[in-house]
Amino acid sequence: MLFDKFQEMAAFQSELAQRGVTPFGAVTEEIVSATEGVVEGRRVILAGTNNYLGLSFDSRCIAAAQAAAARWGTGTTGSRLANGSFAEHQALEEEIAAFYGVGQAIVFSTGYAATMGMCSTLAGPGDVILLDADSHASIYTGVKLSGADVIRFKHSDPDDLAKRMRRLGDRAGQALIIAEGIYSMLGDVAPLQEIAAVKREYGGYLLVDEAHSMGALGATGRGAAQAAGVEADVDFTVGTFSKSLGAIGGFCISPHPELQTIRYCISAYIFTASSSPSVIASTREALRIIRSEPQLRDRLWDNARRLYDGLKALGLPVGPAASPVIAVELEDRAQTINCWEALLDGGVYVNMVVPPASPSTNFLLRNSVSAAHSSEQIDRIIAAYAGLLDAGLLRPVEAA
C-alpha cells in the first residue's frame, strides 16, 4: 500500500501522543522577546532557535518590515522572473554582494531553496559532486536532483576528500565540492583551510553553505570561510536569512559573473514566488546591523562559551569546543524525549533531534545560543540541565 512506508513514523507519532509530548509540533503560543516565549502553555527561555543575534525582535527590523508592508503590500504574488522582482529585492542583492565584496548575488525565498537550488543546478549529468557526509537535507536533495555523480567524503575529513579527488583523475578539475560553515546539529566548524587546500591542489569548484555561520563567524560576520581566511577559494557561498538575520529567505553570492546566467536556470528560483517586501526590508536592516554592530557577535560568543563551559562542568557529553550550537548527545529515544520534556517543564525550550535528522548524528538535545540571551538566562539553562542530572534522567560522562 502507498502508505506502508509511513508506518514507522506513525508508530513514533503515536508513542509521542500517548506520552502527551509534542517535540516536533510544539506550538509557540506567544513570543515575549527574542529569547522568551510561551510554548505548550509553559513560559520558557528559547534555547532552540537559530536567532543567533536576536534580530528577529529588533525594533529597527520590525519597523522596516512594517514600513515596507505599508508601502509595497503583504506579498509580491509572483516569481522573480515575472512580477515578483521589486526594488527591495534588487537592493538587498546589491547589499549582500557588497557585504561579501563580490559582484554577484541572488536572493531566494528560503535558505532551503538557495542551497537546494544551487546544488541541483550547478552540476548536472556527467559532472561530479563531492559532498560532506553530514550535509544538510537541502544539499542532499539538491545533489540528488542534479543528476550528477555524487560522492560523499567523510565528515570534515580533508584527507578523505583529497583521496577521492585523486581517484577522479581528470574529472577533479570540474568537480563541485560542498561543505558547510558551522554544522547545524553538532555546531562543529568545517576545516575550510584544509578543504580549500585540497581544491587548490586538485582543482574543482567549492560551494560553502554558511547558513549557521554567517553573522556568527569571521571578522565582519561573513562566515567560516572569512574566519579561515579562504574566501578567495570559495566559488559559491549560500546562506539564509532565517538565522542571524532573523527573517526568512536565502542567498547565493559568487565572484563568477556566470551567476547572473545561472539565476535563470534554477527551478527553485524561477518557479516560486519571491519573498514578501516586509521580509526583504527587515533582512536589509538586519544586514546593516550586522555590519555596524560587531559587538553582537562578541556577545553571541560570550554566551556560547558560558553555556558550553556550564554544560561541560556538569559533565554532560558536549562537543569538543564552544559554538553557537551546542549539542548534548544522549543514549536513546526514550531518554531524549524524557529530557526534552523535563527541560520544557523546567522552563527551557531546546530542539529535540532523533535520527535521521542528520546523517551522522543520533540522539541530541540541540541548544542554540543568542546574543540576546542574558547571562542570567544562560545560567537558568545550565540549571535546568543540572535538574536533569538530579532527577536521574541524565548521567555525567566525565568528572566535572
How many H-runs (helices) and E-runs (strands) does the chain carry? 14, 14
Q: Is 358 in the site for ligand PMP (CB under 6 A)?
A: no
Q: Is 132 in the site for ligand PMP (CB under 6 A)?
A: no
Number of amino acids touching ligand PMP (CB under 6 A): 14
Which CB, 104 or 283, lies closer to ligand PMP? 283
Q: How far is the CB of 240 from ligand PMP (least distance, A)?
A: 3
Which CB, 247 or 314, lies closer to ligand PMP? 247
Count of other CB atoms within 10 angstroms of residue 57: 17
Residue 285 and residue 281: Cα distance in Å, rounded? 6
Q: Is 231 in the site for ligand PMP (CB under 6 A)?
A: no
Which CB, 40 or 180, lies closer to ligand PMP? 180
**What's the first-to-final CA gap in the chain, in angstroms?**
52
Whether 104 contacts 259, CB under 8 Å = yes
Residue 87 and residue 84: Cα distance in Å, rounded? 10
Query: Which region, judged by CB under 6 A, interacts with ligand PMP, from 154-162, 207-215, 256-264, 371-379?
Result: 207-215
Among 49, 213, 240, 368, binds ligand PMP (CB under 6 A): 240
Q: How far is the CB of 154 from ligand PMP (least distance, A)?
A: 18
Query: Which region, judged by CB under 6 A, interacts with ligand PMP, from 8-16, 108-116, 159-167, 276-284?
Result: 108-116
Q: Is 368 in the site for ligand PMP (CB under 6 A)?
A: no
Contacts of 289-292 with C-beta under 8 Å, sequence gap 24+, read 289/53, 289/55, 289/58, 289/60, 289/61, 290/53, 290/99, 290/215, 290/221, 290/244, 290/245, 291/99, 291/220, 291/221
Distances (CA, A) of 208 to 163, 174, 179: 20, 16, 5
Q: Is 211 in the site for ligand PMP (CB under 6 A)?
A: yes
Q: How far is the CB of 137 from ligand PMP (least distance, A)?
A: 8
Interface positions with ligand PMP (CB under 6 A): 110-112, 115, 136, 138, 180, 184, 209, 211-212, 240, 242, 250
